[in-house]
Amino acid sequence: MDYIHLKDMQFYGYHGVLSAETTLGQRFRANVSLAVDMTEAGETDDLNYTVNYAEVYALCRDIVEGEPLKLIEALVTKIANSILETYADKVKGVRVELIKPDPPIHGYYKEVSVEVTRGEF
């Protein structure tokens, strides 16, 4: 299997359980990996045989910067399912990690993240 990786995409959204999160918003980072067969794209140099990662970025951006959800678990699931539905003919599996660099919890830590894997990976 071949993989396309989109790393450290950065967005601003209004997701969370606390009112401050949905009012002020916060930064989110995302890493997405797509399991695809790139054989034909590699041999033909034709974008039609692979996934346009600019489109995947836009899909992720629209979801993260779109309708607020309470849980980042729901957000990563929505991203993963949307990618699989949009690119059902090309993407065999997807892994999505969503990172909250500054969640509103007391303590010392670098970040909090949630990751899901769907399909064949």
Q: Which residues are catalytic?
A: 100
Report the distance separating Cα 55 and Cα 19, nearest Å.
Answer: 32
**Beta-sheet strand order (sheet of 112-119):** 2-13, 26-36, 91-100, 112-119
Report the relative pairing of strands 91-100 and 2-13 from DSSP bridges: unpaired
Report the distance separating Cα 86 and Cα 64, nearest Å.
Answer: 16
Contact by Cβ (8 Å): 9, 32:
yes
